[in-house]
Amino acid sequence: MGKQLTHVDSAGRPAMVDVSGKPASVRVAVAGSRVRFPATVAAALRTQGMASAKGPVIDTAIIAGTMAIKRTAELIPFCHPLPIDGCRIGIDWADARTLAIRCEVRCVHRTGVEMEALTGASVAALAVYDMCKALSHAIVIGPTRLLGKRGGKRDVGEVG
C-alpha cells in the first residue's frame, strides 16, 4: 500500500498522531530559507553592517527564529510540544543579493523536529523582511525547505 497522510483518523477526520508507543531517540532536523533583496538594498545592508533603522538584522532574526522554534506546537495544530534540547540558526550571504538561513533543531523524543526547524527558518526569514521592509517591499522570501532530518523511521538529506 502507498504512503498515507498521518494526521487523519480512520474516519477521515483530523487527528494528532499518537506517538506513545514509539521509543525516544535523538531527533535532528535542518531547514533552510532564503531572503533575496534588490541589489541596492543588499548593497545598503552590507554598507550598514547588516543593521537597519530597527536594529541589527541578523541578531534579531536569530532571536525571532529561536523563539518560534519553541512555540511551534502553538502555531501548527497537530505538532507535539517538544522539549527542545538545542537549536542553532546561522545566517550568511549565499550570493551578492541573497541571505541563506540555516536552522538546526535537536531533541530526544518520540517524534521529529522537522516542523520546528522549518518554523525557525521561516520566522527568521520573516524577521529579516520586517527589519528591512523600510528599504524595499520587493524583498522575496523562499524557498523554505527541509534540508535533512535524522532519527525516527528514516533519515532524509544531510544533517550535520
Mean pLDDT over residues 91-99, rounded? 98
Checking if the pLDDT of 1 tops 60, the result is no
How large is the average pLDDT for residues 59-76?
Answer: 98
Whether 88 has a pLDDT exceeding 60, the answer reads yes
Respond yes or no on whether the N-terminal peptide bond of residue 143 is cis (omega within 30° of 0): yes
Q: What CATH architecture does domain 25-151 belong to? A: 2-Layer Sandwich (3.30)
Q: Does residue 130 have an active-site annotation?
A: yes
Q: Which member of 9, 59, 130, 155 is catalytic? A: 130
Q: Where are the alpha helices (DSSP H) in the chain?
A: 39-47, 57-70, 72-75, 114-132
Across the chain, mean pLDDT equals: 93
- 7 vs 132: which has the higher pLDDT: 132
Say what the pTM is. 0.92
What percent of the chain shows pLDDT beyond 70? 97
Q: What residue ranges do the domains of the chain occupy?
A: 25-151
Per-residue pLDDT reduced to its tens digit, 10-55: 788 888 888 988 999 999 999 999 999 999 999 999 999 999 888 9
pLDDT at 2 over 70: no
Query: What is d(CA 52, CA 56) in angstroms, rounded to the nearest whole number?
Result: 6
C-alpha cell at 158: 544531510
